[in-house]
Amino acid sequence: ILNEENLSKAIGRRGQNVRLASKIMDYEINILTEKEESERRQMEFKEKTDNFINNLELDETLGQLLVAEGFSSIEDIKQSTVNDIAKIEGIDEKTSEELINRASEFLKKDAEEISKKIKELGVAENLINHKGLTQGMLVTLGEQKILNLKDFAELASDELIGAYDIIRGEKVKIKGYLEDFALTKKEADDLIMSARNIVY
């Protein structure tokens, strides 16, 4: 995360500095300005809050309170104990219990719907059973017409996790199929290599 004046130095001509640093460290490096990072955090906070409001039928204040206290997903709420949630100021044990019940119900229903959607998309059993792919990932892959293990084995890790490219001197983000699932480059490489070992 950099201020505007250091941005071009970090990127380098046609992105060479950031590419070299990525290669040396074997990490994907994303460079953001302080403003972009602030906007990203605000957007993330709103998305998490909206998820709680819409799927658990909470009011905005309670949704925001949960996010502010470190709850990022409905799964986080389901895995918490009544005492964990009741420690938050303004939430009693009865409300905590209700939150956990709503989270459990939502996740159960969601899993059934996702399973049905995977079948409707025509995703093959060999891809469904591939270790490391979640149901959400399978839906996303199915929507991109990646329907079997051979299709998956032919991908590159950048196609899964996304990458930055320099087009006409501008840094451009190329979105990966599974970018929203926060896979690391190593995890993406491992998934693809294990698929190739089975297919070829």
Taking the C-alpha atoms of residue 135 and residue 112, their distance in angstroms, rounded to an integer, is: 10
Contacts of 122 (CB under 8 A, 6+ apart): 142, 147
Confidence (pTM): 0.59
Q: What are phi and psi of 101, to 5 degrees?
A: -65, -45
pLDDT at position 160 over 90: yes
pLDDT in tens, 121-151: 999 999 999 999 999 999 999 999 999 999 9
| Cα torsion angle, 112, 115, 116, 117, sign | positive
Q: What percent of the chain has pLDDT over 70?
A: 100
pLDDT in tens, 45-93: 999 999 999 999 999 999 999 999 999 999 999 999 999 999 999 899 9
Q: What are phi and psi of 38, to 5 degrees?
A: -65, -45
pLDDT in tens, 89-109: 989 999 999 999 999 999 999
Mean pLDDT for the chain? Answer: 91
Strand-pairing partners, residue 172, are 165
Give the model's confidence band at 163: pLDDT under 50 very low, under 70 low, under 90 confident, else very high: confident
Nearest alpha-carbon partner for 133 in 146, 122, 200:
146
pLDDT in tens, 2-46: 887 788 788 887 778 888 888 898 888 888 888 888 999 999 999
Taking the C-alpha atoms of residue 116 and residue 11, their distance in angstroms, rounded to an integer, is: 44
DSSP 102-148: HHHHHHHHHHHHHHHHHHHHT--HHHHTSTT--HHHHHHHHHTT--S
Region 180-196: what's the mean pLDDT? Answer: 93
